[in-house]
Amino acid sequence: MDHLDLPHFLGLLVAILGAAKLFGTLAQWIGQPAVLGELCAGVILGGSVLGIVDPKVEVLHLLSELGVIILLFAIGLETDLKKLLKVGGASSAVAIAGVVLPFAFGYVACLLLGLSNLVAIVAGATLTATSVGITARVLSDLNRLQETESQIILGAAVIDDVVGLIILAVVAGVATGEGISVLGVAGTTLSAFGFLAGTLIIGRAVVPWLVRRLSRIDLPGTATMLTLLLAFGLAWLASQAGSATIIGAFAAGLLIRETPNAHEIERGIANLGHFFVPIFFVVVGAAVDLTVFNPLHSENHKTLLIGVALITAAVFGKYIAGYAPFWIRGNKRVIGVGSGVFDAAMFSAVALMVMVTTFMAPPLLKLLFPPIPGPRPEKEPESIEELVTEA
């Protein structure tokens, strides 16, 4: 199903958005973040149950990627860069521990299960990843983005994403027999971290001035559209510099937050996110293959054993990483929970680990980090005329 005609595509959108809203509401009704319901909606619509949504369809993949870019841009708009930098040391400690510990635990677990050294290395590398989009969405749903723990989690997740790209490049070199080049690793590291640092330094001088000049254009929605262009542009530049697109989008949000039009822009992006962001989470859920959980099939036994070992290594490693910044006062358990070459069996085992750890984060964060009651701190427009005027 690589090609979709317009009626089929429209039907898919109805199914995806309708199920996301329904299951998101049900999740909130039972006291869980809406994102958990959206992930479950994806599982039900995916190939394991109804077979309606195929995450491999290119247009759905592109829409979901656009959704996570808009999500990280919106999270950046809600994040105070000064607070983020203030906890930079703690975020770095969590990020480093969150990479080293799961990798080491996963590597040792795979060796103990009799897997080859190369497979153990690649499996350990997969455990270093963090589901930054899901974590950020949960913290936003809980109205906790401004908490110290949340700032540490977000900072660590951004660093983890950059480090993950470096690890991916190194592991790819090992898997293809090219070996590890010190200059290659240094170059990848410099380009990845250099892009983020350069964007924030240059952007803080240029973006506020540029937004003030362009805001003089008297057309509805101009501010939101121009900042979207900035977010997409920085996301593209990030990918060209060897970093992740979501890093560029997040950096754009941090920069735009410091402009006078930030509140107006935030509202416009939030409305846009109501369409695109649920698509991302439904597509993530649709990629889940429930058949790997079936213990009645003998071929799944090894998969489940390896999967359980990797899940234990990932959860334990990330949890301990939350205690790395020992000098920070706060709920270290929250920080730990927030920070998520093969044959077919091994690939399924890794997929099982990713699935379980992804679905664990929302309810655990909700349990350890209850939402702040009351509406989120933003002024809603009192009328249609006010909304049109502000846009």
Q: Does residue 49 lie within any of the structural domains?
A: no
Residue 206 lies in a domain: yes
Does some domain include residue 324? yes
User: Which stretch, 57-61, 183-187, 267-271, 283-287, has highest mean pLDDT?
Assistant: 57-61
Range of 41-45, 283-287, 352-356 with top mean pLDDT: 41-45
Query: From CA 208, how far away is CA 206, in angstroms rounded?
Result: 6
Q: Is residue 25 part of a domain?
A: no
- Mean pLDDT, residues 21-36 taken together: 85
Residue 385's domain spans which residues?
Answer: 65-158+192-237+245-280+291-390
- Is it the case that residue 356 has pLDDT exceeding 90? no
pLDDT at 326 over 70: no
* Residue 200 located in a structural domain: yes
Please determine, for residue 388, whether its predicted confidence score (pLDDT) is greater than 90.
Answer: no
Best mean pLDDT range from 16-20, 77-81, 148-152: 16-20
Cα–Cα distance measured from residue 85 to residue 204, given in angstroms and rounded to the nearest whole number: 14
What is the count of structural domains for the chain? 1
Position 185 scores a pLDDT of 66
Task: Name the more confident of 111 and 335.
Answer: 111
Q: Which residue has the higher pLDDT, 291 or 69?
A: 69
Q: What whole-number distance in Å separates Cα of residue 107 and Cα of residue 301? A: 20
3-state helix, strand, coil in the chain (%, to 5): 75, 0, 25
Across 247-257, b (16+ Cβ under 10 Å) vs e yields bbbbbbbbbbb
More confident residue, 59 or 337: 59
Identify the CA nearest to 63 among candidates 253, 359, 273: 273
In a domain, 152, yes or no: yes
Residue 255 has pLDDT above 80, yes or no: yes
Evaluate whether residue 48 is within a structural domain.
Answer: no
Residue-level pLDDT at 12: 93
Task: Decide if 167 is inside a domain.
Answer: no
Instruction: Name the percent of the chain lying above pLDDT 90.
Output: 11
pLDDT of residue 381: 40
DSSP category for residue 378: -
Percent of the chain clearing pLDDT 70 (strictly above): 67
Q: Give the N- to C-terminal CA distance of the chain in Å, as an integer.
A: 39
pLDDT band at 70 (very low <50, low <70, confident <90, very high): very high
CA distance 225 to 227: 6
pLDDT reading at 352 higher than 60: no
Rounded Cα–Cα distance for residues 179 and 169 (Å): 11
Q: By C-alpha distance, which of 73, 90, 99 is closest to 238?
A: 73
Asked which of 259-263, 284-288, 379-383 is least confident by mean pLDDT, the reply is 379-383
Q: What is the CATH number of the domain that holds 133?
A: 1.20.1530.20
Mean pLDDT, all residues of the chain: 74
Exposed / middle / buried, residue 325 (Cβ in 10 Å: 0-12, 13-18, 19+): buried
Beta-carbon count within 10 A of 136 CB:
28
